[in-house]
């Protein structure tokens, strides 16, 4: 199924979020256009571009970007998205474009390939391919900083295409691109050097996107440094076969993720007093409280440890250490359950299973129960994003909700209002708070309840339509503002908005 998705954050939600996060995160007017094309109809499909684009969109939202997203787009849909992006970039501080999919170069000019392109003859280049220059022109509409990221330097998918004597098509990779010197400047990043071919990767992401996801969210770090780190990681990960290429004209350091400076921890010998600012004790105490509340709200060991790094002898240090020990214990217990569930069904060593999980019967599905820890653990957009669910996992989750009797429609891997309502209904049925989002413990509980039945709900035939079109267009709705306010009330600012399209 093709999908044309747009996400816009309510201004009121952004203002409220900025007020709460002011001590830590510096918000900016930032927008990102994300396109991932995998399901090509007339040439070889690609495994990773859609996965890459969805992961990058999620990453940019956590960095405070408004995202305009599209997956498996036709030429018409790519033009529509680019037009919407052009209307959004005016006045932005930072504008980013990320594309993953097929692309070609003809006479040194680069073209992105929509999923419906046939590329049967020379005319196809002008009428079916999408020139990258169309996107770079839109970037010139802003005086802010621009960044174009292309994970598209793969083999030429249209080797059968023959051109006239006056034109030539590149055999692999993209052609070098110059940057436009407008505003703060523009940066262009290729997954590999011009004229060379990048790897699609054996895992869920290409080596280039894998490195981007790891480094692009580094706070208070110029993008030039980030791309250098990405380049080094890709070069090493591919056995020195692939070296990303970066060209930029920035007139000042450009940081995608800015955070306000926090006070450094007191590391002097024998320090015993709480870390406070001598000139403004009240402000320092507020900052300390904010960091602890942020950790308590997220429930992450790393956040509690970050608090302790800054305030090793702070007012809440004892509670932070207790929380870390509790979370480590819970993680160990969850891991033992996962190990037990993952044991092969064909094994005859029942005793080894009973050691890991005494109550587990290998002949029947494991059914977990709601615990006190599960009732108290936060379940929100941040905890759900931490599950790192790919499209197939999200489809399976929707099928599991259907298996519980909470109908969310045909499983398509896109979480919209129906899926959120189904999650809330399931949470209510088992006595959990109705947050509409899952955490790892709730996910395991749902899996355990539906393992024996969900498969029959997974491949539900799609309803026929009058036009026969496979494409589906959706845009943001009013639930976005509600989700933002929900996230604010729970003390989180890591993620911006929810996927409010699809089921």
pLDDT digits (tens, 9 = 90+) for 197-207: 766 667 788 89
Distance CA 371, CA 388 (A): 23
- DSSP-derived 3-state class of residue 183: coil
395 vs 16: which has the higher pLDDT: 395
Query: Does 223 have pLDDT greater than 90?
Result: yes
- Kind of pairing, strands 66-71 and 30-36? parallel
The C-alpha atoms of residue 386 and residue 135 are separated, in whole angstroms, by 32
Nearest to 96 by CA among 64, 129, 130, 123: 64
| pLDDT computed for residue 500 by the predictor | 33
User: What is the pLDDT, as a whole number, of residue 200?
Assistant: 63
What residues form DSSP beta bridges with 98? Answer: 34, 149
With cut-offs at 50, 70 and 90, classify the pLDDT of residue 36.
Answer: very high
Residue 496 confidence (pLDDT) above 70: no
pLDDT band at 474 (very low <50, low <70, confident <90, very high): very low
Percent of the chain exceeding pLDDT 90 equals 25
Q: What is the pLDDT of residue 98?
A: 96
Q: Residue 14 has what pLDDT? A: 41
Q: How far apart are the first and last CA of the chain?
A: 13
- Mean pLDDT score of the chain, rounded to an integer? 74
Cα–Cα nearest to 99, from 78, 128, 118: 78
Confidence (pLDDT) at 155: 56
Query: What pLDDT does residue 15 have?
Result: 36
Read off the pLDDT of each residue in 271-296 and give the average, rounded to a whole number: 60
State the pLDDT at residue 54. Answer: 94
In the predicted model, what is the mean pLDDT of residues 115-139? 86
The per-residue pLDDT for range 405-440, each reduced to its tens digit, is 999 988 988 888 889 999 999 998 988 999 999 998
Lowest mean pLDDT among 36-40, 226-230, 334-338: 334-338
Instruction: Please give the pLDDT value at position 470.
Output: 35
Nearest to 133 by CA among 166, 165, 108: 108
Q: Which pTM was predicted?
A: 0.50
């Amino acid at each position: 199924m093709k999908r044309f998705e747009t996400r816009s954050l309510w201004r009121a939600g952004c203002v409220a979020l900025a007020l709460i996060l002011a001590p830590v995160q510096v918000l900016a007017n930032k927008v990102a256009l994300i396109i991932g094309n995998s399901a090509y109809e007339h040439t070889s499909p690609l495994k990773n571009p859609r996965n890459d684009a969805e992961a990058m969109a999620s990453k940019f939202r956590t960095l405070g970007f408004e995202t305009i997203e599209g997956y498996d787009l036709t030429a018409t849909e790519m033009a529509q998205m680019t037009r919407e992006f052009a209307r959004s970039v005016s006045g932005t501080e930072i504008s980013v474009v990320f594309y993953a999919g097929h692309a070609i170069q003809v006479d040194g000019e680069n073209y992105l390939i929509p999923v419906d392109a046939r590329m049967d003859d020379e005319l196809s280049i002008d009428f079916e391919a999408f020139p990258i220059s169309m996107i770079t022109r839109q970037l010139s509409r802003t005086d802010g900083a621009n960044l174009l990221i292309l994970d598209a330097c793969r083999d030429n998918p249209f080797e059968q295409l023959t051109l006239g004597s006056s034109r030539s098509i590149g055999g692999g990779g993209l052609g070098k691109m110059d940057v436009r010197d407008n505003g703060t400047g523009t940066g262009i990043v290729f997954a590999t050097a011009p004229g060379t071919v990048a790897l699609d990767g054996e895992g869920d992401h290409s080596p280039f996107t894998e490195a981007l996801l790891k480094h692009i969210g580094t706070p208070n770090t110029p993008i030039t440094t980030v791309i250098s780190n990405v380049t080094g990681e890709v070069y090493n990960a591919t056995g020195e076969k692939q070296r990303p290429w970066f060209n930029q004209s920035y007139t000042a350091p450009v940081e995608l993720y800015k955070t306000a400076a926090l006070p450094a921890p007191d590391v002097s010998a024998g320090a015993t007093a709480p870390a406070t600012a001598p000139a403004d004790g009240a402000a320092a105490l507020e900052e300390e409280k904010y960091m602890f509340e942020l950790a308590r709200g997220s429930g992450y060991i790393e956040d509690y440890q970050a608090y302790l790094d800054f305030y090793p002898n702070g007012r809440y240090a004892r509670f932070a250490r207790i929380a870390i020990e509790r979370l480590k214990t819970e993680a160990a217990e969850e891991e033992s359950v996962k190990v037990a569930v993952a044991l092969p069904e064909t094994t005859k060593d029942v005793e080894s299973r009973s050691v890991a999980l005494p109550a587990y019967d290998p002949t029947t599905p494991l059914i977990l129960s709601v615990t006190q820890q599960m009732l108290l653990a936060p379940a929100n957009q941040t905890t759900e994003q931490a599950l790192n669910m790919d499209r197939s996992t999200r489809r399976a989750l929707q099928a599991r909700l259907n298996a519980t009797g909470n109908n969310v429609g045909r499983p398509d891997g896109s979480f919209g209002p129906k899926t959120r309502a189904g999650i809330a209904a399931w949470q209510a049925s088992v006595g959990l708070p109705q947050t509409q989002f899952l955490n790892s413990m709730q996910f395991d509980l749902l899996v355990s309840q539906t393992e024996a039945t969900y498969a029959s709900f997974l491949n539900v035939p799609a309803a026929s339509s009058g036009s026969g079109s496979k494409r589906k267009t959706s845009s943001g709705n009013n639930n976005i503002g509600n989700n933002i306010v929900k996230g604010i009330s729970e003390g989180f600012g890591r993620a911006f908005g929810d996927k409010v399209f699809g089921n």
